[in-house]
Each structure stands twice: as C-alpha cells, then as structure tokens.
Amino acid sequence: MATATSSINTINRVKIHEVTKITPMMIPDDDELICLPLTLFDTYWLKFLPVERLFFYEVADLTWDLFDSEILPKLKHSLSLTLGLHYLPLAGHMMWPEHAAKPAIYYFLPGQDQKEDIVNGVTVAVAESEGLDFDVLSGDGIRQAVEFRALTPQLSISDNKAEVVSIQITLFPKQGFCIGISNHHAFFDGRSTMMFIKSWAYLCKQYLDMENASSQQQQTTICLPSELIPSFDRAFINENDPKGFDLVYVNNWLSFTGNDRSLKVLPSFNDVNKLVRATYVLTRAHLKKLRDKLLLLEDRNRQTSPNKLHLSTFVLACAYVFTCMVKARGGESDRDVILAFTADYRSRLDPPVPTNYFGNCVGSHTRLVKARDFVEEPAATGLGGVAFVAHKLSEMVQEIGGGLTIQGFDEEKLVKLMAVMQRVSQGGQGLGVAGSIHFDVYGSDFGWGRPKKVEIVSIDTTGAVSLAESRHGDGGVEVGLALGKQDMDNFASFFDQGLKDLIV
C-alpha cells in the first residue's frame, strides 16, 4: 500500500515526520486507465499553476499518539482503497513521450517497461505544526498568506513528468488536523477535485463506522454511491472534437513557451510573502437585499435595458466583491480590468457529458472593462458600481447558454486568454473566480466531523477570489481573498460600508 521515507525536517513552522507513497490497494482490470489521454479541456489548462486546497478538522485534545495510531492509518488505508477501487489514474504521472503529439496520464503496471524511474502512487507528507495557530488559520480574519504554504503539499513537476495530485496531513496538537491537497490543473477541474475528496472521505468514514459497529452490524463490502464513481471515458469529448482542439491548444502552449515541451507550469503572478488572506461572508439577507435593489433599479431603467438580468447568487456575490476590489486598489481609472470565470460544460454540451465525468470540462469566459466603470455609476443608485458589474456578469452567463458544440468553439480562445494574462502582467487588474458555491466543500466528513474551514490556497498565486457555500448551511457565501495588506484594509472598509448602505 505504501512506501515511506522517514526524515524529520523543520520547514516553515511544521515538522515533516514522513513522506509516503500511497499505492492503490488493487489494480482494476481496465486497460483504458493505464494510459489516459488529455482532452481539449485538459490541454487548455496545461501550463496553469496547481490548484491547492486546505481542509481544517477540529478534534479537541488530539495528541500525536492518537493521531499516529488512529487517524493516520485510516486516512492512508482509505486513500489506498479509493485509488484502487475507482481512481487509479491519480496514482500515475503526466508524461509527454517524444513520439506523442500531446501529454497523457500514465500508470505503469508492475514489470511494465519504463524509460524512467517512476514510482506509482500518491505522495503523502505527514507533518506536525510547530507554533501555527489552528484557530487563527481556520478563522476568517486577516492572516499571513505565507503561513498557509507550510500546510500545502508540493506537486512534483519536472520537465519530463508531473504528479497529478499530492497530499499533506498536518497535526495541530490539542486542536485538530489539516488535509492539504494539490492537484494538476490539466487533469482536474473543481468538480473532479471535490468528487475525489468526497470519495476518499466517504470510504474513510464508512471504514471507521464498520470498525465501530458490532460484528452483527458490520458490512461485508465497502463501496461508493453512484454519484461518486468517476467516469474517465474520454470518448465523450474526444469523439466530438473533429477539429482537434486538443492539439490546437498544445500548439498554442508550444508557441507561447518557445516550442518547449517541458511540463513545468507558469510562474506565480504574486509574491506570497507580501500577501495577507481573509474571508468575508455575504449572508442570505445581504444577497436578497442586493438583488432587490438591483431589480428596483432595473425596473426604473426598463426602457433602456431590454435584457432581463440574471441575478444568481454567483452574479450577486461576484458583482459586489469585484466592485470592492477595484475600489480597494484605487490607482488609474483608465486601467484594464478583466472579469473572468469558468463555467461547467458537462450539462451544457450537445451531446452532454455525464455529471460524474472526471477531468476538466469547463470553459473560461472573460470580459474587458475599465476601472472607471466601477466608480462612475450615479451615486443615487446606492450601489456604487455593483449594478454595472452585475450587468456585465449577467450578460456573460446568459451568452454561454446550452446546447454547445465543440465544433463551434473559438480556435483562438486560448490565444485570447494568453493576451488577457499579458494585460494583467502589464498592470491590468484580473478579477477571477476559484471554487464554487455548488461543490458542498463542507460535506467532506472523513469520520471526525465536517471541516471547520476550507481554504483555496492557490488564490495567492493567481489573484482570483475563492467562493464556497457558507459552512453554516444558511444560504450565505464565503469569499476568500489574498491581497497586499493595504489593499485588504481598503477592501474591508468598502465591503463593510457597502453592506451598511444596503441595509438603509
């Protein structure tokens, strides 16, 4: 199940006790899982930075002995079981052989010819906090972004091969533990990531429940519910890609990087040492009040605004937060601002892709505006630029629609996104979104309760905001940000004052 190296190192206020390779408990009899090709939705994200999440679990009076003897073995065993039952490709590597036109995910069977020294399995680091405050890190207040990096596993990516997932499990003595997961953007979208985490959590909890049950009550088998069983069938997408967009995007990346077939990803936009993090909450009441005000304004302007606004929770939350972010940064009113988000295409494609499809099946959508558009809205509306952003986001969502065909995609889509990234690097302000309010991240219970807090760490490298459903299940939205300290203070002021104005 696992191979381990025991070394104790102190890195960034955590002690690394062990680095282990967790291998699948069994190997499924399915040749298609041994070499899994990337689709156009995967190659589009080939060079993007890994997506990193932290799940904080509160367990009072948790000691190292209890953690090491009870929690860790169950987490490792259930991870091995998860990989063996349904998630074998996650234990492989992304590679780009010389003869291949594009990379693929390879899992090498025992005795299979390998050109490189590749060890199958998911890397799991076991660590212990030395001075980090669990309550602070799992709270909402302003915190140093670099401290979260100590809890975040590194995804091993070289020129020739790349891990697709890596995990770190960190004990906070007397307080709880944290599970960190890093995943390669060219193999996971958000829905796929959460499907894997929930599968692992489900099997761990089921295993724990079986151990605690009497012999008469114990189940003889452990299995996943159907919605958590992934489909790796690339035919759903590749057979509907006659134009070969998968290779179009590969060639776009080759041109962008100077014909470099290296699997290394792009550098970070930000210096994490200069950033702080915070979480802000928009309650159901806040969102309702904002929706009501926008609809009232829309009713007044009905003759000049023929299209009905799409005021989903996503549009409302992003419109409000993006407006606060632009105002918080200040600066030149003529600077470029890029609105960006991804949309899940599974149900939007014709023919549709199964909801349990594992891999990327999202499309990026962007819109270029100017910073002045966020502040020049008439003050009489009482919305301070939010209405402008809500209109833009509403238009973007409505333009996606349904019945999408891959043949109708824009061949220049990735090239245009690269141009957007260039604008951001030259001083433009990118306003992107990571996560979703529909992922139920707080439903990831491994057997020791729901997470106290979930964070998307990687927003500190991309500048995006993270979205999640409220952990309290009250219909609110949690918004995570990573900004410079002054910008964060400014944002907090605009955010709080705006909510006060809404109530008036």
The catalytic residue positions are 185, 445
28 burial via Cβ count (<10 Å: 0-12, 13-18, 19+): middle
Tokens of 373: 């558009």
- 57 with 67: CB under 8 angstroms? no
- For the packed helices 284-300 and 313-329, what is the interaxial angle rounded to 10 degrees? 90
Question: What's the start-to-end Cα distance of the chain, in Å?
Answer: 60
C-alpha torsion sign, points 121, 123, 124, 126: positive
| C-alpha–C-alpha distance, residues 173 and 183, integer Å | 27
Tokens of 251: 């060639």
Nearest 10 degrees: Cα torsion 14, 16, 17, 21:
140
| C-alpha–C-alpha distance, residues 206 and 222, integer Å | 7
| C-alpha–C-alpha distance, residues 371 and 394, integer Å | 18
35-37 and 176-183 beta bridge pairing: unpaired
What is the 3-class SS of 177-195, one letter each residue? EEEEEEECCCCCCHHHHHH
Nearest 10 degrees: Cα torsion 60, 62, 66, 68:
130
* Spacing of C-alpha 494 from chain mean position: 26
Residue type, 257: T
